């Protein structure tokens, strides 16, 4: 390949550091190494998405869905991988989940110039890196949307990024029409708390930018009636922050010895076993990759998600996935600011009573679930994304019609 001199230097740079990376432990099946040699270093596109593509979780799912939705609408897309890693041998490593869009991707240090109508920058920790600062002058957008898709605080109390510093960084960038958008009301409230008492100007946009899902990827198949036993569960990576820390509360939310309820977990339960001393005999625990998320959701009657109270959950894609699949969702009360009427809120000890109430009125439950799916599509799926991009729309609060709100409130009151 006949490359310019500066590009040949980058190839040599990547080869040397890739060799170092292989000595340090290779890549594995879940990691891809971007080959930037064939990627145009200068390009003109409609939408440029800048994010850290290292991890396979919710950010990857959102980035993929956004890119494919934009392209399906006739827009051209570039994805810039801006690593948060300081080691150069990691700069080209991306999650294998990005395989469908590899042809649109380029590593940040390879970019020469990208002109675009809109740049979407997601991942606040990445926004604060030197790698991003070096990238900024090379991107020429007509407008910029910065999405804060995670909390500034980790479960152990450590800092992931600083809200005052992030507001300053966005305010100081020489890009036109900048918006700093939280991904949910919970993140908006956190920003306000962390800015309180400082002299930093709040530049947060009035609209949220929640994750986007592909509604076609989830089959709406609510159960006409609950099974006997009723199957409950949730899917998430096996991390301590995804589980309640009190053994009694954990077993109240996910009962182990109730013959009327069966617990089925996707993603592992090692962290829960550390809390309980074992995985309860009445739980069925499945690894990711068994049959896929849709097949798993088809087996559930109720989606129950009670993470650690110390976990600062920015949004929770799995909740919307359950809505799209036709499952009633049970959550702790702190999630009501984000999901509104799309879920039922209770304490762990109220889970069994709420499940029993839901099983008493099949007609009411099915009508409610159908409305929840329609509302989730309107707020969080690809049609909403395109309206946000084209018309500058905000995302409304998840409110159902008054009769359905009254039905839902009645179920929670009797739990």
Answer yes or no: is pLDDT of 21 > 60: no
What does R_g of the chain's alpha carbons equal in angstroms?
23
Mean pLDDT of 396-401: 94
Q: Which residue has the tokens 């006739």?
A: 74
Answer yes or no: is pLDDT of 295 > 80: yes
pLDDT per position as a tens digit, 60-70:
999 999 999 99
Average pLDDT over all residues of the chain: 91
Is 32:79 a contact under the CB 8 Å cutoff? no
Answer yes or no: is pLDDT of 312 > 80: no
CA 55 to chain centre: 11
Q: Give the integer Cα–Cα distance in Å for 381 and 217.
A: 11
Question: What is the predicted pLDDT for the residue at 19?
Answer: 44
Mean pLDDT of 374-386: 95
pLDDT band at 288 (very low <50, low <70, confident <90, very high): confident
Mean pLDDT of 200-220: 94
Helix H or strand E segment including 120: strand 113-122
Answer yes or no: is pLDDT of 197 > 80: yes
Question: What is the predicted pLDDT for the residue at 29?
Answer: 55
Q: What is the value of pTM for the model shown? A: 0.88
Look at the chain and count its residues.
Answer: 415
Question: What is the predicted pLDDT for the residue at 3?
Answer: 54
Across the beta sheet with 139-148, the strand order is 105-107, 77-81, 42-51, 113-122, 139-148, 178-182
Q: Give the integer Cα–Cα distance in Å for 203 and 377.
A: 29
Which of 149-163, 218-232, 236-250, 310-324 has the highest mean predicted lDDT (pLDDT)? 218-232
pLDDT per position as a tens digit, 139-196:
999 999 999 999 999 877 789 999 999 999 999 999 999 999 999 999 999 999 999 9
Helix H or strand E segment including 256: none
Question: What is the predicted pLDDT for the residue at 15?
Answer: 52
Helix H or strand E segment including 144: strand 139-148
pLDDT band at 6 (very low <50, low <70, confident <90, very high): low
Q: Which residue has the tokens 């069994």?
A: 352
Question: What is the predicted pLDDT for the residue at 122?
Answer: 97
Mean pLDDT of 315-342: 96
> In Å, how far are 236, 318, 319, 333 from 57, measured between CA atoms?
10, 11, 14, 24
pLDDT band at 261 (very low <50, low <70, confident <90, very high): very high
Helix H or strand E segment including 240: none
Answer yes or no: is pLDDT of 22 > 80: no
Neighbours of 109 (CB within 10 A): 18
Helix axes 317-325, 362-380, angle to 10 degrees: 130
- Residue 93 phi/psi, 5-degree rounding, is -85, 125
Mean pLDDT of 251-258: 94
Per DSSP, 111 falls in state -
Question: What is the predicted pLDDT for the residue at 5?
Answer: 55
Q: Give the integer Cα–Cα distance in Å for 222 and 366.
A: 7
- Which tokens is 61 given? 């799912």
Which of 235, 253, 228 is closest to 352 using CA atoms? 253
Cα angle 289, 293, 299; round to 5: 110
Mean pLDDT of 31-36: 91
pLDDT band at 9 (very low <50, low <70, confident <90, very high): very low
Q: Give the integer Cα–Cα distance in Å for 306 and 250.
A: 8
Name residue 45's beta-bridge partners: 116
Answer yes or no: is pLDDT of 20 > 70: no
Mean pLDDT of 118-134: 97
Residue 37 three-state SS: helix
Residue 345 three-state SS: strand
Q: Which range has the worst mean pLDDT, 23-32, 296-305, 384-393?
A: 23-32
pLDDT band at 252 (very low <50, low <70, confident <90, very high): very high
Question: What is the predicted pLDDT for the residue at 17?
Answer: 42
pLDDT band at 16 (very low <50, low <70, confident <90, very high): very low
Question: What is the predicted pLDDT for the residue at 278?
Answer: 95
- Which tokens is 286 given? 């499945």
């Amino acid at each position: 390949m006949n490359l310019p001199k500066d590009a040949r230097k980058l190839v040599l740079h990547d080869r040397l550091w890739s060799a170092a990376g292989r000595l340090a432990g290779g890549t594995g099946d879940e990691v891809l190494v971007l080959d930037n040699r064939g990627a145009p270093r200068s390009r003109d596109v409609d939408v440029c998405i800048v994010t850290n593509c290292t991890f396979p979780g919710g950010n990857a799912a959102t980035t993929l869905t956004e890119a494919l939705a934009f392209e399906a609408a006739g827009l051209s897309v570039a994805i810039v991988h801006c690593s948060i890693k300081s080691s150069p041998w990691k700069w080209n490593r991306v999650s294998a989940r990005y395989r469908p869009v590899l042809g649109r991707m380029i590593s940040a240090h390879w970019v020469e110039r990208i002109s675009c109508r809109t740049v979407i920058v997601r991942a606040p920790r990445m926004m604060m890196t030197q790698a991003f600062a070096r990238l900024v002058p090379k991107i020429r957008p007509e407008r910029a949307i910065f999405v804060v898709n995670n909390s500034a605080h980790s479960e152990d109390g450590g800092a992931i990024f600083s809200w005052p510093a992030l507001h300053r960084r966005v305010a100081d960038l020489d890009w036109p029409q900048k918006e700093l958008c939280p991904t949910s009301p919970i993140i908006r409230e956190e920003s306000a708390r962390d800015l309180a008492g400082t002299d930093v100007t709040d530049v947060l946009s009035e609209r949220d930018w929640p994750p986007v899902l592909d509604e076609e990827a989830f089959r709406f198949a609510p159960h006409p009636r609950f099974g006997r036993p009723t199957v409950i569960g949730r899917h998430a990576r096996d991390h301590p922050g995804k589980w309640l820390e009190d053994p009694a509360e954990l077993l109240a939310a996910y009962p182990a010895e109730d013959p009327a309820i069966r617990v089925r977990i996707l993603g592992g339960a090692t962290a829960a076993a550390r809390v309980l001393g074992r995985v309860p005999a009445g739980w069925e625990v499945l690894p990711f990759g068994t049959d896929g998320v849709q097949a798993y959701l088809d087996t559930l009657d109720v989606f129950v998600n009670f993470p650690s109270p110390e976990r600062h959950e920015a949004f929770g894609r799995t909740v919307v996935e359950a809505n799209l699949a036709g499952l009633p969702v049970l959550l702790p009360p702190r999630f009501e600011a984000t999901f509104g009427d799309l879920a039922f809120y209770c304490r762990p000890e109220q889970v069994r009573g709420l499940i029993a109430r839901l099983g008493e009125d099949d007609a009411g439950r099915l009508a409610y679930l159908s409305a929840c799916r329609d509302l989730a599509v309107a707020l969080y799926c690809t049609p909403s994304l395109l309206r946000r991009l084209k018309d500058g729309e905000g995302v409304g609060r998840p409110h159902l019609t008054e009769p359905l709100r009254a039905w839902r409130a009645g179920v929670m009151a009797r739990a």
